[in-house]
Amino acid sequence: MKQNGTEKPHDRLKPKLFSVMKHYSKEQLVKDLVAGVIVAIIALPLSIALALASGVNPEQGLYTAIVAGFLVSLLGGSRVQIAGPTAAFATIVAGIVATDGMDGLILSTILAGIILVIMGVCRFGALIKYIPGTITAGFTFGIAVTIVVGQIKDFLGLTFQNAPIETMDKLAEVFRCLGTLNWQALLIGLISLAILIFWPKKLEKIPASLIAVIVCALLVKLSGMQVNTIGDLYTISNAPPKLTLPEVTFARIKAMVPNAFTIAILAAVESLLSCVVSDGMIGSKHRPNMELVAQGVANVGSALFGGIPATGAIARTAANVKNGGRTPVAGMVHAVVVLAILVLLMPYAALIPMPTIAAILFIVAYNMSGWKNIRSMLKTAPKSDIAVLMTTLVLTVVFDLVVAIGAGLVMTALLFMKRMADVTEAHAWIDADDEDTDPDNILRKKIPARTRVYEINGPMFFAASEKFKYMLDDHDIDVLVIRMRNVPAIDEAGVEALADIIRRCERHHVQAVFSHVNEQPMHAMEKAGLTETVGKENFCVHIDSALLRAEELEQAIAAKSAK
């Protein structure tokens, strides 16, 4: 985007790191180092938990935090963004892995990264704001519900007879297998949940999730409780990320495109939302297009090195800011520290109880759900917006995110068109000498005797085209003036509605005159040949000149009739 011939700073495709390093100081380096270490400690249990919720091995969550976290900080458009695995992707990733395997996930994530890069290069960063808040709120709450349902099994220590993939099937299996409840697992889950809820109220500086992991791992190990741990269900690896290439065929690419678009849109929305939140915290301005490019590169990198889809993580970004991080250096430190933890301490992750992982994800789901925002919308939003919200929420839980977002966008578009049609109108002017007219209304003009004036307000598009057909109900006139100063845009259906009016005018020997036609409608009418049909002399720049033209036409018609 250009402004006075120059590009706006926040629209430049230049990483924020390159800008902030010009004035970097030793004092800020110390703050960034501290913030990076703290965020890495927070990211450790979260990344493992989110990897398990996504149906992949625990180290793959750490690979994502390392590779994507480093690349987003290096190339991103935000000063403080922290990227990594997030809860929003958990159900999507789990579904892809279950149906298409790891190769399908890698390919989907690479394609999503390419789509994100293209979006950034094409300056689509500003367009994300046009995704309605009702849809975002609906699918975010829906994802939170699916995460909770997916973790009930481990929280209660249930033994499933089947291995369901869909959320509703998982819920049905929970009720079917309630008889296998493990009271020891439930106890560990409740202790974990208590630590996660109450610890931050006392010692916020030390992450509650880390305390829950350590305390409950020791409790299970030392007491000999019969509770599943990560090591019981997964093979733990402390190997650093390695390049992994998927099997690529055209058919496979074609099959993965829908998943790729879902991942790309979700990554774009969540990362830019995180940027907006962090901007408000530090008084900065992110570069949305550069952020999309960075997210794209990061997702390609994450997929190639064994990770899962990544995006900006609002909670980790907020923790970075609260602990003094003010430049991308903090995010890069966070990635390096996570790598060191992976290599040195990953074997100990085998001791983490699965109910503790479930409890961490319960808290993640609660924090991401935005239930307060949902409650506010239900109280204040129009019924149509509530319908979009609830439809998106329910479809996310019952089906999947692709169906939910698609249905939500279609509903929103239809409702938007209805609203635009409702506010678009064409009304007649009344002669200022008529006794019914308010003499103080300055909009009233002196209208020639055999002239009718109609003013159109609002865009002329297909949903509103029926509103203009009554303009020539009165045939006993010589001139029809159509004022279009409040018509910002017109589509093919609107042009056809005007063409129909002009044809009817010709049949009844009425001359059409247009007043104040804006640029886009004028261009559309020229392309349709309406300006030639009506006559360019009958397109006036102002209503006064249009009324003078109508008076001239009336006089000419009267003179012709007199002969």
Tokens at 126, concatenated: 């500003």
Burial, 249: exposed, middle or buried (Cβ in 10 Å; 0-12, 13-18, 19+)?
exposed
Amino acid found at 14:
K
CA atoms of 163 and 161, how far apart (whole Å): 7
First to last CA, the chain: 62
Share of the chain above pLDDT 70, in %: 90
Label residue 500 by pLDDT band (50, 70, 90).
confident
Give the residue with greater pLDDT, 200 vs 118: 118
Burial, 130: exposed, middle or buried (Cβ in 10 Å; 0-12, 13-18, 19+)?
exposed
Is residue 546 helix, strand or coil?
Answer: helix
Alpha-helix residue ranges (DSSP H) falling in 54-177: 58-75, 90-121, 133-156, 167-176
The helix (H) or strand (E) run that includes residue 332 is helix 328-345
| Backbone phi and psi for residue 311, each to the nearest 5 degrees, phi listed first | -160, 180
In terms of DSSP bridges, do strands 2-3 and 6-7 run parallel, antiparallel, or are they unpaired? antiparallel
Question: pLDDT (tens digit, 9 = 90+) per residue, 344-368?
Answer: 988 888 999 999 999 998 998 888 7
Q: Residue 137: is its pLDDT beyond 60? A: yes
User: What torsion, rounded to 10 degrees, do the Cα atoms 287, 291, 292, 293 define?
Assistant: 110
Question: pLDDT (tens digit, 9 = 90+) per residue, 30-44?
Answer: 999 999 999 998 899
Cβ neighbours for 248, distance < 8 A, ≥ 6 positions apart: 107
- Domains of the chain, first to last: 27-380 (no CATH), 425-562 (3.30.750.24)
Is residue 57 helix, strand or coil?
Answer: coil
Label residue 404 by pLDDT band (50, 70, 90).
confident
The number of beta carbons lying within 10 Å of the beta carbon of residue 264 is 27
233, 228, 231, 232: which is closest to 346 by C-alpha? 231
Are 442 and 402 spatial neighbours (Cβ–Cβ below 8 Å)?
Answer: no
Rg of the chain taking only CA atoms, in angstroms: 31
Q: Residue 9: is its pLDDT beyond 60? A: no
Are 56 and 93 spatial neighbours (Cβ–Cβ below 8 Å)?
Answer: yes
CA atoms of 456 and 462, how far apart (whole Å): 15
Label residue 167 by pLDDT band (50, 70, 90).
confident
Mean pLDDT along residues 121-148 = 83
Are 494 and 462 spatial neighbours (Cβ–Cβ below 8 Å)?
Answer: yes
CA atoms of 473 and 492, how far apart (whole Å): 23
CA atoms of 62 and 84, how far apart (whole Å): 8
Give the residue with greater pLDDT, 420 vs 322: 322
Query: What is the pLDDT at residue 403?
Result: 80
Residue written as token pair 């994800």: 361
Cβ neighbours for 204, distance < 8 A, ≥ 6 positions apart: none
Query: What is the pLDDT at residue 242?
Result: 92
CA angle 227, 229, 235 (to 5 degrees): 145
Residue written as token pair 């220590």: 157
Give the residue with greater pLDDT, 268 vs 563: 268
CA atoms of 291 and 270, how far apart (whole Å): 11
Tokens at 154, concatenated: 């481990």
Q: Residue 263: is its pLDDT beyond 70? A: yes
Are 143 and 401 spatial neighbours (Cβ–Cβ below 8 Å)?
Answer: yes
The number of beta carbons lying within 10 Å of the beta carbon of residue 157 is 23
CA atoms of 280 and 295, how far apart (whole Å): 21
Mean pLDDT along residues 153-179 = 89
Residue written as token pair 């979260």: 46
Positive or negative: CA dihedral 506, 508, 514, 517: negative
Mean pLDDT along residues 503-519 = 91
Positive or negative: CA dihedral 89, 298, 283, 272: negative
Are 29 and 329 spatial neighbours (Cβ–Cβ below 8 Å)?
Answer: yes
Query: What is the pLDDT at residue 8?
Result: 59
CA 89 to chain centre: 13
Taking the whole predicted model, whether its pTM rises above 0.85 is answered as: no
443, 459, 511: which is closest to 481 by C-alpha? 511
Tokens at 422, concatenated: 């409702």
37, 117, 53: which is closest to 86 by C-alpha? 53
- Classify the phi-psi angles of 249: left when phi > 0, otherwise alpha if psi is within -120 to 50, otherwise beta: beta
Q: In what order do the strands lie in the sheet with 511-515?
A: 425-428, 451-457, 479-486, 511-515, 539-540
The helix (H) or strand (E) run that includes residue 531 is helix 530-534
Query: What is the pLDDT at residue 234?
Result: 86
Tokens at 561, concatenated: 């009739």
Q: Residue 406: is its pLDDT beyond 90? A: no
Query: What is the pLDDT at residue 442?
Result: 35
Question: pLDDT (tens digit, 9 = 90+) per residue, 410-438?
Answer: 888 887 777 666 656 666 655 544 444 44
CA atoms of 23 and 314, how far apart (whole Å): 26
